A and B are shown apart, each in its own frame.
Chain A
Amino acid sequence: MAPLADYLILSGVLFSIGAAGVFVRRNLITILLSIEIMLNAVNLTFVAFGRALGAVDGQIIVFFVMTVAAAEAAVGLAIVISLFRHRESLNPDTFTNLKW
């Protein structure tokens, strides 16, 4: 089995990729996808440490993170749909005015 450090490095790399996606891409859906990548990287860290410590809490927290991610994706996508209907664009740079 690969050492714990390898799993953590993989998780760090995935998190960075997700963070890069959030900052760099100008498409709301791709930004939401990058957030999901970040959440998955965190899940991997939790499960890896849970296994290393022999605790069941790692897996339980992953369970909760997944549930929260599902809820957040649902509401986030609903907001994206609602925004798209008003401006016909998925580029976050077009939503710069507070006035509707």
Chain B
Amino acid sequence: MAPEALFYVFGAVAVIASLAVIGQRNPIYSVLLLIASFGALSGLYVLLDAPFVAVIQIIVYAGAIMVLFLFVVMLLNAPHEDTDYDERVHPLLRPGPMRFGAALAVALLAELGWALTRGETGDFGTASVPSVAAIGRALFTDYAFAFEVTSVLILVAMVGAVVLARRDAPGGR
């Protein structure tokens, strides 16, 4: 019940799910595990007193972007990576990943050790928690230009995606 315990639960789910995402062979399972990871992150946002962001995360990421990924995986239906390497060896255990992964793991552990020696940043203060109305107000006043540009960006992405994924008409464009 304590928010501390919940943080560790959600954090563990997010990390384990993300590890499984990069470790899975079958892309459909990767997508579903990533959805689980997003759910855990949404829980973390609720713990950080950001319910709006939490719900938007579910709506946009888990509910829309991942559906898109799932559709594309189903459309392409290519469940296995075909590489020059031996198919029976798991993707993460092949020589390239092993060497690179070992180097990355050492770097990460060194960084974590360094970060932990920096001293505690302490608990969150009793700073005011912004309400959804405050988010809306700031979005449409201070960040209005970014908002408008984002809407153009989405339009461009929509048109671009449709054009890029279109089959060429028979007999050339």
Contact = CB atoms under 8 A, between A and B. Distances in A.
Q: Do chains A and B touch in the complex (CB under 8 A)?
A: yes
Interface of B: 3-4, 7-8, 11, 14-15, 18-19, 21-22, 24, 27, 30-31, 34, 37-38, 41, 44-45, 47-50, 52-53, 56-57, 60-61, 64-65, 68-69, 72-73, 75-76, 78, 81-84, 91-92, 96-97, 100-101, 104, 108, 111-112, 115-116, 120-125, 127-130, 134-135, 138-139, 143, 146, 150, 153-154, 156-158, 160-165, 167
Contacts of A68: 150, 153
Contact of A77 (B68, B82, B124): B68
Interface residues of A, number: 73
Interface string A44-81: 10011011111111111011101111111111011111
Given A37-B22, A66-B60, A70-B65, 8 more contacts: A3-B122, A5-B120, A24-B96, A30-B24, A64-B146, A66-B61, A77-B69, A77-B161
Interface of A: 1-10, 12-14, 16-21, 23-27, 29-30, 32-34, 36-37, 40, 43-44, 47-48, 50-60, 62-64, 66-75, 77-82, 84-85, 88-91, 93
